[in-house]
Structure 1
Amino acid sequence: MRIALNGFGRIGRTVLRQVLTRADCADIEVALLNDIAPIETCAYLFRYDSVFGPYPGKVEAEIGALALDGRSIPFTQEPDLGALDLSGIDLVMDCTGTIHTRAQAARGLSAGAKNVLISGPCPEAERTIVLGANDETLGTARIVSNASCTTNALAPLLRAIDDALGIASGHSTTIHCYTGSQPMVDAPRGDLARSRAGAVSMVPTTTSATRLVDHVLPQIAGRVSGAAVRVPVISVSAIDAVLHLKRALPSDVEGFLRTLAAASPVLGATEDATVSTDLRARPESLVIALPETQVVGAHQLRVFGWYDNEWGFSARMIDVARRMVARDQA
């Protein structure tokens, strides 16, 4: 399939790195890169990455193209998605973080792309799809939101547990690495806590995943609350969920969670004693840390899991893109 990447920031670069380095992505051609930053800067940031390390191949900036391992990918600097030439593009991934309306996204369709996949929440998207949670609802939607990294981590877990035992209520805390939305030094932000330097403090805040989970899983809407704490690590985040279940837990709870993970296309599980850095570049939406499991009585379950909020989310962008394009070709 032929895709275009509009926006070459953290997610755009991580998607491209996966396409170029994963053996199972040989069927994907990135036919266009678009970003308003200078091509020399984009080439440098792709060559050297503070999270995933240097790109293992050759990276060069050419006139109007980014040369990767000897292959040139056209590179444009067009701020308007609708002004791009997307003819022959099966899907454009919008990774700019600036598309929030259907009209904005539809400019990608008018430019010639068959589909638009948005790398973040978009309330006006035709569908918000989370693989392993509600991907059966994709239908014929052409403008799709891939939700958020935390929603991709939490929703498949909640769907699997609700299907098996029923969720009466619960709360999830996201322990999230700092992001570009936070300042490096104290600086004004709308959220007072988020105005503090992100790399030196734990910062309590909100998460969009609470609203998005209700949207993606309407069958449990209003039953699971959520909050977030931003912590001073550069990558890999965690979900800490306490759930009250309608039906009694099985006697082997870790075995139950292991089975749920094995049956899911996006969940994983580990029996090792792990810390966040151990999960860097893991492709799963969530890796359940089985030693952290706790049970109170027959109906209360605590689940702790890790997710690489950049690598795992980018992997889901690729997966959902494949589903949309395969649907068109069926």
Structure 2
Amino acid sequence: MAVRVAINGFGRIGRSVLRAALSDGAGDVEIVAVNDIAKPEMAAYLFEYDSTFGPWKGSVALENGALVIDGVRIRLTGARDLASLDLSDIDIVMECTGLGGERSFAEAGLRAGAKRVLVSGPSDTADFTVVLGANDEKLGPEHRIVSNASCTTNALAPLVRLVEAEWGVETGWMTTIHCYTGSQPTIDAPGAEYARSRAAALSMVPTTTSAQRLLDVVLPGIAGRIEGAAVRVPVASVSAVDLTVMTRARPDVATVNAALAAAGGVIGRTDRPLVSSDLRARPESIVMALPETRVTSGGLLRLFGWYDNEWGFANRMLDVAARMGSL
């Protein structure tokens, strides 16, 4: 029986989740409801016409309070307070508003009658933070509010777990080369941080990333061994992880690439000389660029991987929802 899911917040991740579910098949997940405060006509328009992924190739319509995509009816509501809705038929609310880091906000799905909530971002107050390929074996039925961490953490943590298991991690540094997001202005505008107040599409912006902190949460056994930072760059989609680590064992490039190629699951790989736009809409959490692997004479291991920070993360939301529904 399919896991019945409602999406709260029909922004970049919410729409990407629905597109991924209807494009590639969501397996045991059925999206049955969407709640967003935007006008229904705007919600339908932004789903149908997407500047990153292109126009939807099928049909999109509004009919009697429902968003109908290729004949699939999805009830559409516009409640500002999710708890005011009746979600007693919903197994999991995907909390995609960007406000779900606050437990009181995330709990609105439970108050509406849904069984569990999956937050599409970091949350210090969630019952559990999960990353597929890193710590998902610890996800249990007692976890009612679950954080899916961040897109960068989903890319980084499975890779670090693999390196730790194969060769041992002594210490390391991660830089995420990250596309700009809606949190940045299109033109210079006052904000909480100086650099991130600058026009997103005109400059590379050095800033912080939550991935380093969340890595310690997801993989506590290596807490404190890897630090990291971000550089936001003027592209609209597809980001990268550049990871340099000192390992206890000293593998050569061929050995490392063989392990990366064999990893499978959420870790993809390519042996082609690709650029970021080539990785758009790849569903893996990270796609390792094998030609970029390096090992210095002193034993530093450098790994480079691409990740579609919207599409890959949206696919992990579907995967985790299916996992939660099976517990």
TM-score range, shorter chain: over 0.9
- Provide the C-alpha distance between the structure 1 equivalents of 2:170 and 2:29, rounded to a whole number of angstroms: 42
> What corresponds to 2:321 in structure 1?
321
The answer for unaligned runs of 5 or more in structure 2 is none
Query: For residues 4-15 of structure 1, what are the structure 2 equivalents within 5 Å?
Result: 4-15=6-17
> What corresponds to 2:240 in structure 1?
238
- Deviation (angstroms), 1:63: 3.8
- Deviation (angstroms), 1:260: 3.5
Query: For residues 1-330 of structure 1, what are the structure 2 equivalents within 5 Å?
Result: 1-23=3-25, 25-140=26-141, 141-249=143-251, 251=252, 253-297=253-297, 299-327=299-327
- Deviation (angstroms), 1:28: 2.7
- Deviation (angstroms), 1:26: 4.9
| Contact 1:4/1:92 (<8 A) preserved | yes
Q: Secondary structure at the match of 1:79?
A: coil
| Contact 1:51/1:235 (<8 A) preserved | yes
- Specify the code of the residue in structure 2 equivalent to 1:133: A
Alignment deviations for residues 252-306 of structure 1 (CA, whole Å, 9 cap, x no partner): x244334245334200111100100000000010001011111112631000110
| Contact 1:132/1:264 (<8 A) preserved | no
- Provide the C-alpha distance between the structure 2 equivalents of 1:72 and 1:319, rounded to a whole number of angstroms: 22
Give the TM-score normalised by structure 1: 0.95
| Contact 2:32/2:73 (<8 A) preserved | no
- Specify the code of the residue in structure 2 equivalent to 1:92: V
- Provide the C-alpha distance between the structure 2 equivalents of 1:288 and 1:183, rounded to a whole number of angstroms: 30
Give the TM-score normalised by structure 2: 0.96
- Deviation (angstroms), 1:80: 1.2
- Provide the C-alpha distance between the structure 1 equivalents of 2:282 and 2:96, rounded to a whole number of angstroms: 20
Query: How many residues were matched structurally?
Result: 324
Worse overlay, 223-232 or 77-86:
77-86
- Provide the C-alpha distance between the structure 2 equivalents of 1:131 and 1:254, rounded to a whole number of angstroms: 26
- Provide the C-alpha distance between the structure 2 equivalents of 1:255 and 1:322, rounded to a whole number of angstroms: 34
- Deviation (angstroms), 1:71: 2.8
Alignment deviations for residues 95-139 of structure 1 (CA, whole Å, 9 cap, x no partner): 000112323222211211111000000100000000001111112
Worse overlay, 156-165 or 64-73:
64-73
Identity among equivalent positions (%) equals: 60
- Specify the code of the residue in structure 2 equivalent to 1:246: R
Alignment deviations for residues 166-214 of structure 1 (CA, whole Å, 9 cap, x no partner): 1110100000000000000000011100000000100000001111011
